[in-house]
Copies of this chain bind each other. A is one copy, B any other.
Amino acid sequence: MPSTIKDVSIAAGVSIATVSHVINQTRYVTDDVKAKVYAAMEKLDYNPNSIARSLRSQQTKTIGVMVPSIRSLFYSRVTDGIEETMRENGYHIILANSHDDRDREMDALRTFKSLRIDGLMMCPSVGEHTYLKNMLPASTPVVFIDRYPLDYEGDHVVIDLSGSTYDVINLLIKKGHQKIGMITGYKGLSSTKARFEGYQAAYQDNGLPYDEELIQSGAYTSDAGYENTKKIIENTDATALFYADDPMVIGSLLYLHEKKIRIPDQISIVSCNDYEWTRISNPPLTIVKKPSYQLGIKAAELMLDKIEKRVEKDKIHKFCLSTTIVMRSSVKDLI
């Protein structure tokens, strides 16, 4: 059995309160008493019981982190950034995967509630999220990451997908592409919506019409990438493709390779994220680099600010991180 604060107090010949104050530096204690306490702690290999501490102090130093899937390259980096920042600040994280499923999501939320998390960082799935209002105590800060609910105003830090999509589409148009396919994620997500907006704005600003069939939404899987590429290729005369996430690219490339469609000769490709493999794929991919790790850090910092009340309570805090385009050989200049 691990030793308790009581054991330490007896060994040091002082009261429990004094030991607690020494540990937490929460009131003045003379140096020799301090020394005795430290010696006793050392001797007994004392390690504070954070469960008891949490029960009493009503804070758990725990942050609930919910992402669609931890095995995603993007979200694992976001999580890495969160974990790192939280750890440095004395918090730890409880991980849950929603798998973009509302039931799973609510399930995890119930667990989080039961665990009395000090803060929730979540990437919401499709659908209503007003239930969050009643789910957690009003005092529990919430930060949405990468996506935010469309029916619920809340603090969030996301990637500037509207802007980056605009930039990519605009770039492709300037290079002479007129029919640009986009394979994006689920409809009903803030991220997908932003991509639509960027896409449309770019077409509009260039005075070009676009075909509805050029945009395909669906799961973040290589299968969906394969199928959606097939649809676009079969139904349109797209000369370029832009993707929301990397599994889609992989499926898409599998289709294109299968059909012996040459990149970038017959079709140009732009992907998302800067995962290393895009440098050695066939061909190396032009990408828009999303600051995933930085998103995690920024969101964690916002969360810490909210917990420590360093931030206005009645304001909605929104952060939108910008991307950079990395040119490689998967895009052809048509002019």
B281 near A277: Cβ-Cβ < 8 Å: yes
Is A17 among interface residues, defined by CB-CB distance under 8 A? no
Which positions 76-135 of chain A face chain B at CB distance < 8 Å? 76-77, 79-80, 83-84, 87, 92-97, 110-111, 113-116, 134
* B-side contacts of A113, CB under 8 Å: 2, 47
* B-side contacts of A33, CB under 8 Å: none
Give Cα A222 to B279, complex, Å.
11
Is A303 among interface residues, defined by CB-CB distance under 8 A? no
Is A175 among interface residues, defined by CB-CB distance under 8 A? no
Mask: chain A, 170-206; 1 = CB below 8 Å from B; 0 = not: 0000000000000000000000000000000000000
B71 near A76: Cβ-Cβ < 8 Å: yes
Identify the stretch in A34-42, A146-154, A250-258, A306-314 within 8 Å (CB) of chain B at 4 or more residues. A250-258
Identify the stretch in A48-56, A207-215, A235-243 within 8 Å (CB) of chain B at 4 or more residues. A48-56
- A116-B49, A254-B279 are known contacts. Are A83 and B55 too (CB-CB below 8 A)? no
Cβ-closest chain B residue relative to A79: B70
Is A291 among interface residues, defined by CB-CB distance under 8 A? no
Is A280 among interface residues, defined by CB-CB distance under 8 A? yes
Cβ-closest chain B residue relative to A134: B45
* B-side contacts of A115, CB under 8 Å: 50-51, 92
Is A247 among interface residues, defined by CB-CB distance under 8 A? yes
Partner of A80, one of B70, B137, B257, B275: B70
Give min CB distance, A224 to chain B, whole Å.
13
Partner of A114, one of B50, B97, B114: B50
Give Cα A253 to B253, complex, Å.
19
Number of copies: 2
Mask: chain A, 256-290; 1 = CB below 8 Å from B; 0 = not: 01000000000000000001110111110000000
Is A325 among interface residues, defined by CB-CB distance under 8 A? no
Cβ-closest chain B residue relative to A252: B280
A-B pairs, top 5 by smallest CB distance, nearest first, are A282-B282, A277-B277, A253-B280, A76-B76, A250-B276
Interface centre among A92, A113, A116, A137, by most chain B C-beta atoms within 10 angstroms, is: A92
Is A69 among interface residues, defined by CB-CB distance under 8 A? yes
Is A73 among interface residues, defined by CB-CB distance under 8 A? yes
Give min CB distance, A326 to chain B, whole Å.
15
| New A-B pairs, 6, CB < 8 Å, besides A70-B79, A87-B96 | A51-B60, A84-B97, A92-B96, A253-B280, A275-B277, A282-B282
B77 near A71: Cβ-Cβ < 8 Å: yes
Give Cα A279 to B282, complex, Å.
10
B2 near A137: Cβ-Cβ < 8 Å: yes
* B-side contacts of A55, CB under 8 Å: 49, 51-52, 55
* B-side contacts of A316, CB under 8 Å: none
Is A335 among interface residues, defined by CB-CB distance under 8 A? no
Cβ-closest chain B residue relative to A249: B280
List, sorted by A's number, 20 A–B pairs whose CB atoms are closer than 8 Å.
A49-B116, A51-B51, A51-B54, A51-B55, A51-B116, A70-B70, A70-B80, A71-B73, A71-B293, A72-B76, A84-B97, A87-B96, A87-B111, A93-B95, A95-B95, A247-B276, A250-B276, A250-B279, A254-B279, A281-B282
* B-side contacts of A279, CB under 8 Å: 250, 254
